[in-house]
Structure 1
Amino acid sequence: MGWVKKGRIFNPDGSGDWMHNSVLTPTPLLLGDETIRIYASFRDREGRGRIGFLDLDARDPSRILSVGRVPVLDLGRPGCFDDNGMLLGDIVRVGDQVYMYYVGFQITRQVKFLAFSGLAISVDGGKSFERVSSAPVMDRVDNGLFIRAIHTVLAEGDVFRIWYAAGNGWRTIDGVDYPEYDIRYTESPDGRHFPDACGRPVLGCGPGEYRIGRPRVRKVDGGYEMRFTFDTLDKQYTTGKAYSTDGLSWTRSDEVDVPRSASGWDSREVSYPCVLDTPHGRYMFYGGNGMGRDGFGYAVWSP
């Protein structure tokens, strides 16, 4: 019983404009029973990410059905929080709409970047999206000065449960500045407003680590499972796991169930894992080397 790696699915070949390189934070949405849509951030030649998608055969995710020709979410207006690119945070069905939570990046003079969370909504089943605001829905606060990045939203009853990364500092390693952040939790009555601006810390860095984020939470028997990505001071960027009965108190395990390959596209990194259950099996989609610079692939759960 365990995960069986099936290989790389897609990597831009460098010939495109906005989809020039990299597949960051690949996040699946099941369309009916036969199609999986993967939303992700694709970088242009200047390293700026735009949100696009590709459709896969749900029976055989290695089979690409189509690739979106244009972004479903382009760069924000100059001067706005998302004018220098975006990461996909989460995709959530809310009634007959699809909510897209994303992380917008802005370049500033005094620090490397700022990253806060936006929301766009689709009314056509996920083919196109419109921002609800040109401003972030989760903006800067005292305990999230540089980063507040939503990565999981679960609608449970009349509340939206949110797990996100919050960053307040920078760590210089070999002359390069890297953001420091940890994982927090908050709730929302509608998925658009967040009354508790401070949130609740739920998972912090361990010894020798300086950032832990991209929390992907899903409900499992007995509670919740979280998959996350963390980085160490000696630059071992990798993934871990944690378990909780209530989504608030977590026990970290860091068991490596999808290891790096001996060579190739995922030999240095297995990043941003995201699990999807379908009528045809359970799949995990993840990025490869360079946070997805070498594309993304998948693994299949073998009971």
Structure 2
Amino acid sequence: MKWEKLGLVCTADRFGVDVPTRVMVPTPVFVNEDTIRVFVTVCDKDNIGRPYYVDVDARDPRKVLRLSERPVMDVGTAPSFDEHGVVVAQVLKTRDGKLQMYYSGFERFRDVRYKIFTGLATSSNNGESFQRVKTTPILGGSDYESTFRCAPFVIEFEDRFSMWYVAGSSWETIRGKQVPRYSLKYLESPDGIEWPVEGRSCMELQHDEHGFGRPWIEIDEHGTYHLYYSIRVCSLAAYRLGYATSEDGLNWVRKDAEMGLEPTPGSFDSNGLSYSAIIEAHGSTYCFYNGNDFGREGFAVSKLIK
């Protein structure tokens, strides 16, 4: 793949947040044929994230049409699994026309930096606001995945909901900093709310890797699955973008070199690229993503040209 980098779309200082630190995990969905609503998580000075949205022109996603004036949902009330952050992973438009926001909820602890589990909220007003389906996580800690069950991507099929997510139970120290270690897992659900306590492993870490970022999956007209994801590289202490394909959504062939988006020296993405999300609009394919420090300067977009 070959991409044209179109640059930053929206910076952190545009949301009215007190000392914002980053705008992370851009998550696009169509509001109508003219507008892509990109949900993002804006982190404050305490590094607590809340979800907002940025409406962009579907024909030119560099053009910002509107920003949400307040978070579409607040963090949970203490003590809860999402009291220290709500990070949007995916907004799914269901067959009945509602929006379902699958998100990662952060809770800090004394013995570990945090635990991250998955929550679900719904919207009946096109994403202007969301209400929790449950105050407890839909993917909570289990004997098999005790510390991280998060960053979900869900596809609604006729007979099931399928989820790809990252999960793990351990931490490791990289360059003096504790970082989580997790791999890619797969689950199925009859309703998108109730899920099994353990997923099937479908892609393991390789040498010099210790984590995957939010998966994003597209299925083409031939039924081939295309996975866009982030890879946390130990030696770099930063993310790079990865790409893989599969015929069944379970057995993936990694083709990371084909992703085609690399750091640009001296730019907002000179050190890291993460959280890729793909959307097709009016005959063009766009990739929204974050640059250095998980979106310290905002989120960006690139256009597929080959």
Please report the TM-score for the alignment, with normalisation by the length of structure 2.
0.95
User: CA offsets per residue over residues 102-146 of structure 1, 9 Å max, x none?
Assistant: 000000111110100000000112111100111101101122111
Question: Who is 1:105 aligned against?
Answer: 106
> Equivalent pairs: percent with the same residue?
33
Deviation for aligned residue 1:213: 3.3
Name the CA shift for 1:200/1:275 in 2 (closer, same or farther; >3 Å).
same
Question: Who is 2:140 aligned against?
Answer: 139
1:173 equivalent to 2:174? Answer yes
Residue number among 265, 286, 290 corresponding to 2:293 in the alignment: 290
Contact residue 143 and residue 166 of structure 1 kept, 8 A = no
One-letter amino acid of the structure 2 residue matched with residue 276 of structure 1: I
Name the CA shift for 1:155/1:18 in 2 (closer, same or farther; >3 Å).
farther
Mapping of 1:88-99 within 5 angstroms?
88-94=88-94, 95-99=96-100
Deviation for aligned residue 1:18: 5.8
1: CA distance, partners of 2:77 / 2:83? 6
Gaps of 5+ in 1: none
Mapping of 1:66-105 within 5 angstroms?
66-94=66-94, 95-105=96-106
2: CA distance, partners of 1:207 / 1:200? 21
Contact residue 89 and residue 152 of structure 1 kept, 8 A = yes
Name the CA shift for 1:233/1:150 in 2 (closer, same or farther; >3 Å).
closer
1: CA distance, partners of 2:79 / 2:149? 18
Name the CA shift for 1:159/1:18 in 2 (closer, same or farther; >3 Å).
farther
For the aligned residues, what is the CA RMSD?
1.5
2: CA distance, partners of 1:138 / 1:190? 14
2: CA distance, partners of 1:226 / 1:20? 30
One-letter amino acid of the structure 2 residue matched with residue 214 of structure 1: R
Contact residue 14 and residue 20 of structure 1 kept, 8 A = no
In structure 1, the residue corresponding to 2:294 is in which secondary structure? helix
Mapping of 1:1-303 within 5 angstroms?
2-13=2-13, 16-17=16-17, 20-94=20-94, 95-194=96-195, 196-220=196-220, 221-234=222-235, 235-255=237-257, 256-303=259-306
User: CA offsets per residue over residues 231-278 of structure 1, 9 Å max, x none?
Assistant: 222124211111100101111111241111121111111111100011
Contact residue 219 and residue 226 of structure 2 kept, 8 A = yes
Contact residue 184 and residue 212 of structure 2 kept, 8 A = yes
Contact residue 36 and residue 56 of structure 1 kept, 8 A = yes
Contact residue 28 and residue 279 of structure 2 kept, 8 A = yes
One-letter amino acid of the structure 2 residue matched with residue 166 of structure 1: A
Contact residue 241 and residue 261 of structure 2 kept, 8 A = no
Deviation for aligned residue 1:281: 1.6
Contact residue 182 and residue 213 of structure 1 kept, 8 A = no
Deviation for aligned residue 1:151: 2.3
Deviation for aligned residue 1:168: 0.9
How many residues align? The count is 302
Deviation for aligned residue 1:186: 0.4
User: CA offsets per residue over residues 189-234 of structure 1, 9 Å max, x none?
Assistant: 111111x321100011001212123111111234101111112221
One-letter amino acid of the structure 2 residue matched with residue 11 of structure 1: T
In structure 2, the residue corresponding to 1:164 is in which secondary structure? strand
Please report the TM-score for the alignment, with normalisation by the length of structure 1.
0.96
2: CA distance, partners of 1:19 / 1:88? 20
Gaps of 5+ in 2: none
Name the CA shift for 1:99/1:18 in 2 (closer, same or farther; >3 Å).
farther
